[in-house]
Amino acid sequence: MENILIEKHENIAVITINRPTKLNALNKATIQELHDGFKALNEDKSVKAIIVTGSGEKAFVAGADISEFAHFSVEEGGKLAALGQELLFDFVQNLSTPVIAAVNGFALGGGLELAMSCHFRVASDNAKMGLPEVTLGVIPGYGGTQRLAQLVGKGRAMEMIMTAGMIDAETAKNYGLVNHVVPQVELLEFAKGIASKITKNSSVAIAKAIQAVNANYIDGVNGYQVEIENFGACFGTEDFKEGTTAFLEKRKAEFPGK
């Protein structure tokens, strides 16, 4: 792969978007590579958590590659958004393996949309986040109008989108857009520390929890009913037997891979 790097250590994988001369901007090739990378890691039974970050200290992802769509027609623009959402942004949100965004530097436009599609986010203290698409005469097209409002509330999302302004890491934390803010040099290790805690738990149960939480945001789906069904399904798993047995035997559970 030309645009991303993948490293695995024990049960944790790190995907690094590696286009430093373009501030890791998302082009079609990078979106496809990210899809392929996430898909492969999700199918890898040894990987129990994934971290995605950007190369260098300046940017997580500074946006989409505008040169690729500057001359698109209405039809081409719609297809660009639909394909991108299917291949990457919706795909990551619904991945059964937990995905943490380690946001270093700028996360703008498609970069913030990628971070928001992850299951949660941690940021470096120099991070800047925003959706500046209206300055180009377009709107966020990779789920940004939906996920930002879900995470920070309608009013704040409207203001961020309409003003095209950037917010700093502490503001993003106050808004609920990121969970933690740490110094740049500590970001990846901090994210790995959270990922390590995740890997000690049942991957089967975590996948069911991701599905249930996401169900609350799907029109026409009763999230409470999905929770009931997924709760019940857990009782038929080897992880449930191991977890409850370990509890009763007063030992730590040893869960298998996915």
Q: How many residues does the chain have?
A: 258
> Which distant-in-sequence residues (6+ apart) come within 8 Å of 180 by Cβ?
122, 123, 173, 190, 194
The span from the CA of 31 to the CA of 60, in Å, is 14
Is residue 113 part of the annotated active site? The answer reads yes
Closest CA to 106 of 20, 203, 4, 185: 20
Task: Kindly name the residue from 133, 170, 227, 242 that is annotated as catalytic.
Answer: 133
- ∠ CA 100-101-103, rounded to 5°: 150
b/e map of 123-144 (b: 16 or more CB within 10 Å)?
bbebbbbbbbbeeeeeebbbbb
Helix, strand or coil, per DSSP, at residue 4: strand
Strands 49-54 and 99-103 come out as parallel
Task: Tokens 């970001």: give the residue.
Answer: 187
Closest CA to 198 of 210, 189, 206: 206
The span from the CA of 74 to the CA of 91, in Å, is 24
Count of other CB atoms within 10 angstroms of residue 87: 19
Task: Kindly name the residue from 7, 43, 68, 113 that is annotated as catalytic.
Answer: 113
Residues tagged active-site: 113, 133
